[in-house]
C-alpha cells in the first residue's frame, strides 16, 4: 500500500475519532458521571505536553486532572507555588489557571519527597495540622480547584509517624468537606495491611472513610514467569486486596502507567528510573509487537535494541475499564499524561473513554479494530521494510560489496 493511502487512512481515523467526541460527552459524562477517568499532569513535563493540550486528551474524556509538582508545602507549613523555570515554561499559578476550567475538574497534588517530609513533621502538631488544612482550603478556593490529593509515603516510617499522617489527612478532609464539594484523594502504592490504614486508634480513619477516593497503584513482585508490571492480574489483585480489607469499591481508583518497563528490569537495580522506561507514545510509534498479539498486545520489542518491553496496552486498558465498571469501582487514573500517544486511535486515555462508553451501553467489547489501528500496523510494516532496504544499501561501494560477498 502506498504512503498516500496510509496517510489517507490516518486522516480518516482522526475524523472518526473527532465525530465520537460529542457523543461520548453526552452519553458517558451524563449517565455515568460517578466513574472517574483521572489524568496526572506533571508540571515538569511541559515540554513534552503543553498544558493547553491536556483538557482535550482522550477526546475530552478526562473527568479530573491531578496537577503534580506545581504546589509544595515547606517545613514551616507554608504553601509554595512553583515559579517558572524556563523561558517557555508556565509557572504553577499559570498552570492552575489553565487547568481550572471545565469540563475536567482540577485536583492539586502534593507530591515530592520534601513535601512528604514536611507533612509528616507537621502532622505531629494539632495546631499546625488545622492551620495547614485551613490554608490549603483557602488556596484551593481562590484557584477554583475541586480538591486536593496527597501522595502517601512509600518509604518505611514508624507507626506513630504514619498514624499522625492519617490524622493530618483526616483533618484536611474534614475542612475540605465543610467547604462544600471539595475532595481529598490519596495516591497510594503501599500495601493495604499497613498500620496507618487499619488501626484501632480512636479518630484514625479506617479504610479511607474520611477520603473521597484512594488512587491505588499495583506494586507487584515480578518474577521471571510474570515480568509484566501493569497486567490485568496485578490490577485485579491490588483492588481485591483493598476491598478484602473493607474498603468500599466506590472509593478505589485504579492507577495504570502510560509507560513501559523492560522485561528484564526485575533483575536490575533502579527499575523505576526514568531511563529504564519507554513511554507509550514511543512504544506505539516505534516498537514492534510480540508475534501473534498484533497492535493490541502488551509485549513489545524495540527493533533498535531488541529489548522486550511490557505495557498496559490497548486490550489490557479496555479490560481494566470493563473491570472497573463491572465492579463499581470509583474509576481509573493514568500516570502520566505526557507519556500517552497522540497518534489517531493509539491514545490509551481515548481508548479508556471509548471502553467506558461501550460499558455504559452494556457492550462487552474485548478489542475494537479501527481504521487507525490498521494504518498503524501498515506504518510499522512499512518501517520494517525500509530498514531492510537501508541494510541492503550498506553493500554499496567496494568495502560493502566485499562484506556482502564474504
349 or 382, greater pLDDT: 349
pLDDT at res. 234: 85
pLDDT at res. 315: 87
- List the single range of 106-110, 137-141, 218-222, 285-289 with lowest mean pLDDT: 218-222
Contact 287, 302 (CB under 8 A): yes
**Would you list the domain boundaries of the chain?**
3-268+314-405
Mean pLDDT, residues 38-56: 92
pLDDT at res. 219: 62
Q: Which residues contact residue 243 at a Cβ distance below 8 angstroms, ignoring those fewer than 6 apart?
A: 249, 252
Nearest one of 79, 82, 88, 8 to 46, comparing CA atoms: 88
In the chain, how long is the greatest CA-to-CA distance? 83
**pTM score over 0.85:** no
pLDDT at res. 183: 93
Nearest one of 231, 125, 87, 254 to 185, comparing CA atoms: 254
378 or 279, greater pLDDT: 279
Any idea which fold 3-268+314-405 has? TIM Barrel (3.20.20)
pLDDT at res. 147: 95
Q: What cell does 136 get? A: 490549603
CA dist., res. 37 & res. 319, Å (int):
15
344 or 41, greater pLDDT: 41
pLDDT at res. 249: 92
Contact 289, 299 (CB under 8 A): yes
Backbone angles phi, psi at 201, to 5 degrees: -70, 130
Contact 69, 364 (CB under 8 A): no
Contact 271, 265 (CB under 8 A): yes
Q: Which residues contact residue 369 at a Cβ distance below 8 angstroms, ignoring those fewer than 6 apart?
A: none
When pLDDT is cut at 50, 70 and 90, the band that residue 403 belongs to is very low
134 or 219, greater pLDDT: 134
Mean pLDDT, residues 84-103: 91
When pLDDT is cut at 50, 70 and 90, the band that residue 90 belongs to is very high
pLDDT 10s digits, 385-397: 343 333 333 333 4
pLDDT 10s digits, 158-193: 777 777 788 888 888 988 988 777 999 999 876 777
Mean pLDDT, residues 352-370: 76
pLDDT, mean over the chain: 75
Task: Give the CA radius of gyration of the chain.
Answer: 23
CA dist., res. 210 & res. 175, Å (int):
11
- 3-state SS class at 257: strand
pLDDT 10s digits, 312-324: 888 889 999 999 9
pLDDT at res. 288: 63
Other C-beta atoms lying within 10 Å of the C-beta of residue 309 = 25
pLDDT at res. 124: 86
- 3-state SS class at 395: coil
Q: How distant, in Å, are the alpha carbons of 137, 147, 172 from that of 130?
A: 11, 17, 8
Amino acid at each position: 500500500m502506498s504512503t498516500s493511502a496510509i496517510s489517507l487512512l490516518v486522516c480518516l481515523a482522526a475524523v472518526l475519532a473527532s465525530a465520537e467526541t460529542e457523543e461520548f460527552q453526552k452519553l458517558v459524562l451524563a449517565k455515568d458521571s460517578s466513574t472517574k477517568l483521572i489524568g496526572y499532569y506533571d508540571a515538569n513535563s511541559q515540554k513534552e505536553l503543553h498544558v493547553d493540550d491536556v483538557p482535550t486528551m482522550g477526546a475530552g474524556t478526562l473527568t479530573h486532572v491531578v496537577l503534580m509538582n506545581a504546589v509544595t508545602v515547606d517545613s514551616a507549613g507554608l504553601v509554595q507555588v512553583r515559579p517558572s523555570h524556563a523561558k517557555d515554561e508556565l509557572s504553577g499559578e499559570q498552570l492552575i489557571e489553565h487547568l481550572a476550567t471545565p469540563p475536567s475538574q482540577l485536583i492539586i497534588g502534593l507530591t515530592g519527597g520534601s513535601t512528604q517530609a514536611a507533612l509528616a513533621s507537621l502532622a505531629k502538631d494539632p495546631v499546625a495540622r488545622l492551620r495547614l488544612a485551613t490554608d490549603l482550603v483557602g488556596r484551593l478556593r481562590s484557584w477554583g480547584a475541586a480538591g486536593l490529593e496527597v501522595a502517601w509515603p512509600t518509604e518505611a516510617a514508624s507507626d506513630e509517624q504514619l498514624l499522625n499522617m492519617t490524622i493530618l489527612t483526616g483533618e484536611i478532609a474534614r475542612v475540605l468537606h465543610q467547604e462544600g464539594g471539595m475532595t481529598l484523594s490519596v495516591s497510594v502504592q503501599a500495601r493495604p495491611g499497613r498500620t496507618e490504614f487499619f488501626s484501632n486508634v480512636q479518630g484514625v480513619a479506617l479504610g479511607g472513610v474520611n477520603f473521597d477516593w484512594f488512587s491505588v497503584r499495583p506494586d507487584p513482585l515480578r518474577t521471571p514467569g510474570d515480568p509484566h508490571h501493569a497486567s490485568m492480574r496485578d490490577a485485579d489483585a491490588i483492588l481485591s486486596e483493598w476491598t478484602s480489607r473493607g474498603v468500599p469499591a466506590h472509593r478505589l481508583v485504579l492507577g495504570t502507567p502510560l509507560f513501559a518497563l523492560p522485561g528484564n528490569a526485575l533483575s536490575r537495580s533502579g527499575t523505576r528510573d526514568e531511563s529504564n522506561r519507554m513511554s507509550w507514545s514511543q512504544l506505539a510509534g516505534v516498537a514492534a509487537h510480540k508475534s501473534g498479539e498484533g497492535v493490541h498486545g502488551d509485549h513489545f520489542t524495540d527493533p533498535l535494541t531488541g529489548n522486550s518491553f511490557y505495557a498496559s496496552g490497548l486490550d489490557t486498558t479496555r479490560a481494566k475499564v470493563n473491570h472497573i465498571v463491572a465492579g463499581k469501582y470509583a474509576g481509573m487514573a493514568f500516570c502520566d499524561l505526557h507519556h500517552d500517544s497522540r497518534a489517531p486511535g493509539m491514545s490509551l486515555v481515548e481508548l479508556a473513554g471509548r471502553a467506558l462508553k461501550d460499558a455504559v451501553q452494556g457492550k462487552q467489547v474485548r478489542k475494537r479494530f479501527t481504521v487507525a489501528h490498521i494504518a498503524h500496523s501498515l506504518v510499522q510494516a512499512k518501517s520494517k521494510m525500509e530498514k531492510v532496504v537501508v541494510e541492503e544499501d550498506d553493500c554499496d561501494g567496494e568495502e560493502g560489496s566485499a562484506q556482502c560477498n564474504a
